[in-house]
Amino acid sequence: MNRVSTKWASAVLASALLGPGPALAEMRPSLSFAGVPGVIDMPSGDAMPDGTISVTVGSFGSQTRTTLSFQITPRISGSFRFSSTRNWNDVTVGTPADDGYDTYSDRNFDLRFLVFRESDYMPAVTVGLQDFIGTGKHSAEYIVATKTFSDRVKVTAGLGWGRYGSYGDIGSPFGVRPAIDFGNGGKPEFGQWFRGPVAPFAGVEYKVNDRWTVKAEYSSDIYAEEAALRGTFDRNSPFNFGVEYQRGPNMRIGLYSLYGSEIGLNFNLVFDPKQRAGGGISVSPPIAVGTRPQRSADPDAYDGGWTLQPDAADILYANLAKRLAVDGITIEHFSYTSTTVQLRIRNTQIDSGPQAIGRAARALSQVMPASVEVFQIVPTVRGMGASKITVRRSDLEALEHTAANDSALRARVDITDAGPVPDDGLGPIGVYPKFTWGVSPAMRISQPYTGAVGLRFAASYEMRPGLVLSGSVYQRLADNLDSYIFRAEDVSVLPHVRSDVHDYNVDGGTSIDRLTLAWHAKPADNLYSRVTFGYLERMHAGISGELLWKRATSRLALGAELNYTMQRDTDGGLGVSDYDYGIATGHVSAYYDFGNGFLGQIDAGRYLAGDVGATVSLDREFGSGVKVGAFATLTSASAAEFGEGSFDKGLRITIPMNWVLGKPSRKETTTTIRSLQRDGGARLDVEGRLYEPIRDYHLGQLDSQWGRTWQ
Amino acid sequence: MGPHMAMMSGAKRAILTLLVATTLAACGMIPKPGQRVDLNAVSREKMQAFGTPIMRATVPGRGVDVLLSIREQKGNVVTWEAAEGYTFTFRDGVLIETRGLGPDLMSASAPSPGAIASGTVSARSYFFLGDSDVTQRRDYTCAPQSAVAEVLSIYARNHQTRQVTELCTRQGGKVTNQFWFEGRNIRQSLQFISPAAGYAVFVSVVD
């Protein structure tokens, strides 16, 4: 057997030792029981890295808290927390404190602001508002400082109000904290903030090594209701101690002794949406840019006479289709002159628009005769041309292997409106009608911990580009819906356009989620349209029309939507008679791309319950496609009419499959987390709204992903 | 020139696939899709039998150990490809691009091998996709160290080489590339790809 060089082996060993890079030695922030940067049960002054998403589950005694946190900007973070306390009325049955709950559940929103970043001599300082628009049971405000020493020790000290000012207070510097009358909750209680007793708290952390950290803290939360009033645990001491284990960059678990009586567990998962699993998407390499002969050496190659060849279009089309099929790109239209080619493509696989455009340009350079100098590539969405990217072939050839070729190419391409489909040329061949189907798991929730799981069967039949018959059927497999707790105070005084979700869950064991015919068109430059007819969503059927105006190079888009719907029967069948409720709804919308991934949206109009108002949304989107956002809707429905929560608000997270898998895919899932889904501010959930898919091929998105053009 | 039906340009890739399959078959094994092959067990004779230049590329940070053949050449830029779906592009033997690894080296400006061999201090720029797919640029000043004579044994053939270590530094970071020159050609090298992929070793086995 031949032997390879021992030098080769040592070189490989050296490369393994040299790369990919040294581990971080810094002391990263860890998360408290409340799911925010903290020591054990108390917050700390540092902040998570920009963009970090974390999920924390902490439990001690009869309390469990599940928190989703997002570092919105380098200084601002937000959290949504679902907390529950078991045995809530065990010792208060029959007393005035008995409020009828066995397990008391609450939803909290927090906001934190990093006032000062940590420096060599100064600590990081954060001001935080906990449960600032909930029922107020967990409300607290704090200002807290944290300093790191030698990358091993962290010391935290802070002052807390509200819950965090309830033990060992040192007075009330800003006056008495007024009694809270939260009513239906869900509104900021400005008058309470930083009022009432203030108490100090402190903690220390010691990083034993990269995996193990030990912690101790002094808590200023007396747990007045949970411990003193309801006896759900004994608060014997203000001191907490714990040990935490860090597994990889994403997972941390902690075991604690809490308040001198309880053992606690805390588990958290931390994600950086800026990074992909494995560091990048592993896609097959692109084909090379085609080489043309020098014009001086072979002037005949540049002759445009080939356009007269009768079978030229068919041959070129077949060659292009073959090369593009590798990347899941199909041809919607193909036309040319002797100098210019326009290729309309549909990208079904590659998550990045620029990468799909780059691959189409390479395919054209391989296939088109030498006289064709201008490539017009039009990505299409549901048959509509989203934009036109014009690339000069000689630029592709010149830049293929040059340094910084992405920015150089970007400076030389034009991005414009797609324009109309050329009259001549070839349309899609062998692509339509197109049938696709899939099965996915589905979950339906009536109340926290009460719901059903099942399967959703979806199918789509696209007769021609933009004309789609599609639907999905849900089949329940298992549920615990009979443990639903009816509360008379939850019965809505508004039309039950959303709040009968439990009835829909119970009756719709086998149900048609959607069954629609949708038609998309591009009636004019920069204008896109959609008409959808049928069973538009689980609860409403009818017709929905939408117009979107957006220039390919503009940050602003404007839209209008008009719907007429009847409320569907709860069994998920074809009937619309149970409710006898029909309503015209509609919105005008403005969308704005602020840059750096921040997207704003305002929708004003009439909602399903007949209330009139507006929804404001702000999302942050990362290059990986992960998107995190928040929305709030204020309408003419009063807080009393709306019920618990006072108005509709929530968070939404979109996770693309390619971020999870590290493989090319355009699939993504969006999860919306609401404090409570009520009838006020409820908007029709029609599928296929225009803004997001069109935006994929417009300036902001193309520029943020342009680095992948050559990949 | 008129349009013509394209020929698949996978002939080179087929050679590598065949080479790996032949090696396994020689060991009495039928290759399965995705099966890793011990490339140390492939003989020089088998590689030479295909009559095409063959290079071995190893990227420990990505678990990649593959044989490469030339996909295309444009002037002094040569792109090598693996049957497994990776490409490595070199300008005169100095790595300037990778594809298919995920965290690829998207482009680079690099000194010529002549400058490296002669110890000339040069500038290097690496471009790769960082967080959120935003292109990151890293600029280094590279100082090749004095050459050291070494005999490399590559698949049972000895090569008289001069090993040059190229130290590239910037504020807050450094990269160390190594080149084994045989005459004016690079016989073996250790070259940086990207922070997430780390380094690659390239061994030119068959010329």
Closest CA to A658 of B133, B194, B145: B133
The boundaries of the domain holding residue A342 are 299-431
Q: Answer yes or no: are the C-beta atoms of A137 and A107 closer than 8 Å.
A: no
Q: How many domains does chain A have?
A: 3
pLDDT above 90 covers a percentage of chain B that reads: 63
* A569 & A689 share domain: yes
Ranges of each domain in chain B: 11-206
* A353 & A263 share domain: no
* A225 & A313 share domain: no
Could you tell me if the ipTM is greater than 0.85? yes
Buried residues in A331-361 as b, exposed as e (16+ CB within 10 A): bbbbbbebeebbbbbbbebbbbbbbbbbbbb
* A163 & A248 share domain: yes
- Lowest-confidence pick of A24-28, A260-264, A583-587: A24-28
Long-range contacts of residues A69-72, Cβ cutoff 8 Å, at least 24 apart: A69/A31, A69/A35, A69/A36, A69/A110, A70/A628, A70/A651, A71/A47, A72/A620, A72/A628
Closest CA to A662 of A183, A202, A282: A282
Closest CA to B136 of A280, A401, A400: A280
- Reported as a single tens digit per residue, the pLDDT across A445-483 is 998 789 999 999 999 999 999 999 999 999 999 999 998
Of A431, A449, A480, the domain-final residue: A431
CA dist., res. A74 & res. A52, Å (int): 10
Q: Answer yes or no: are the C-beta atoms of A255 and A86 closer than 8 Å.
A: no
Angle between helices A353-367 and A312-325 (to 10 degrees): 140
* A388 & A470 share domain: no
- The whole-chain average pLDDT of chain B stands at 85
Tell me whether residue A291 is in a domain. no
Which are the contacts of A189, defined by CB distance < 8 A and separation ≥ 6? A132, A133, A136, A139, A180, A182
Residue numbers in A near B58 (CB within 8 A): 12, 15
- Reported as a single tens digit per residue, the pLDDT across A643-658 is 887 888 888 999 887 7
Name the token pair of A134: 């909930």
Rounded to a whole number, what is the distance in Å from the CA of B105 to chain A's nearest CA? Answer: 10
pLDDT at position A693: 92
Q: Is B69 on the interface with A (CB under 8 A)?
A: no
Per-range mean pLDDT, top range of A78-82, A182-186, A615-619: A615-619
pLDDT at position A668: 82
pLDDT at position A2: 41
Is A300's CB within 8 Å of B196's CB? no
Q: Answer yes or no: are the C-beta atoms of A195 and A174 closer than 8 Å.
A: yes
CATH number at residue A625: 2.40.160
Closest CA to A47 of A55, A38, A58: A38
Average pLDDT score over residue span A420-431: 91
Average pLDDT score over residue span B103-130: 94
Tell me whether residue A27 is in a domain. no
* A518 & A403 share domain: no
pLDDT at B17 over 70: no
Q: Answer yes or no: are the C-beta atoms of A701 and A353 closer than 8 Å.
A: yes
CA dist., res. A515 & res. A572, Å (int): 11
Cα of A611 vs its chain's centroid, Å: 27
From A19, A405, A711, residue closest to B198, measured CB to CB? A19
pLDDT at position A178: 84
Q: Answer yes or no: are the C-beta atoms of A205 and A30 closer than 8 Å.
A: yes
From B81, B129, B154, residue closest to A8, measured CB to CB? B154
- Reported as a single tens digit per residue, the pLDDT across A23-47 is 334 688 999 999 999 999 999 999 9
Q: Which residue of B has its CA nearest to A272?
A: B131
| Alpha-carbon distance values, B186 to B57, B60, B113 (Å) | 14, 21, 8
pLDDT above 90 covers a percentage of chain A that reads: 72
Dmax over Cα atoms in chain A, in whole Å?
100
| pLDDT-based confidence at residue B6 (cuts at 50, 70, 90) | very low
Name the token pair of A69: 């946190």
CA dist., res. A698 & res. A555, Å (int): 9
* A261 & A313 share domain: no
Of A431, A457, A491, the domain-final residue: A431
CA dist., res. A476 & res. A453, Å (int): 6
Mark which residues 107-146 of B lie under 8 Å from A by CB: 107-109, 125, 127, 129, 131-135, 137
Q: Answer yes or no: are the C-beta atoms of B105 and B202 closer than 8 Å.
A: no
CATH number at residue A232: 2.40.160.40
pLDDT at B33 over 60: no
CA torsion A55→A651→A684→A348, rounded to 10°? -60
CA dist., res. A58 & res. A36, Å (int): 11
* A59 & A92 share domain: yes
| pLDDT-based confidence at residue B27 (cuts at 50, 70, 90) | very low
- Reported as a single tens digit per residue, the pLDDT across A667-708 is 788 888 876 789 999 999 999 999 999 999 999 889 988 999
pTM of the model as a whole: 0.85
Tell me whether residue A22 is in a domain. no
Closest CA to A347 of A337, A358, A336: A358
* A449 & A420 share domain: no
Closest CA to B72 of A208, A285, A383, A688: A285
Tell me whether residue A363 is in a domain. yes
CA dist., res. A688 & res. A381, Å (int): 11
Residue numbers in A near B106 (CB within 8 A): 405-406, 707, 710-711
**What topology is assigned to B11-206 in CATH?**
YmcC-like fold (2.40.360)
pLDDT at position B123: 96
pLDDT at position B131: 76
pLDDT at position B172: 81
Q: Is B81 on the interface with A (CB under 8 A)?
A: yes
Q: Would the CA dihedral through A162, A165, A166, A170 be positive or negative?
A: negative
Average pLDDT score over residue span A130-143: 86
Q: Which residue of B has its CA nearest to A371?
A: B1
Q: What is the number of CB-based contacts under 8 A between chain A and chain B?
A: 198
Is A401's CB within 8 Å of B91's CB? yes
Residue numbers in A near B44 (CB within 8 A): 2
Which are the contacts of A619, defined by CB distance < 8 A and separation ≥ 6? A598, A599, A600, A601, A627, A628, A629, A630, A652
pLDDT at A183 over 80: no
* A230 & A85 share domain: yes
- Reported as a single tens digit per residue, the pLDDT across A388-404 is 999 999 999 999 999 99
Q: Is B75 exposed, middle or buried (0-12, 13-18, 19+ CB in 10 A)?
A: exposed
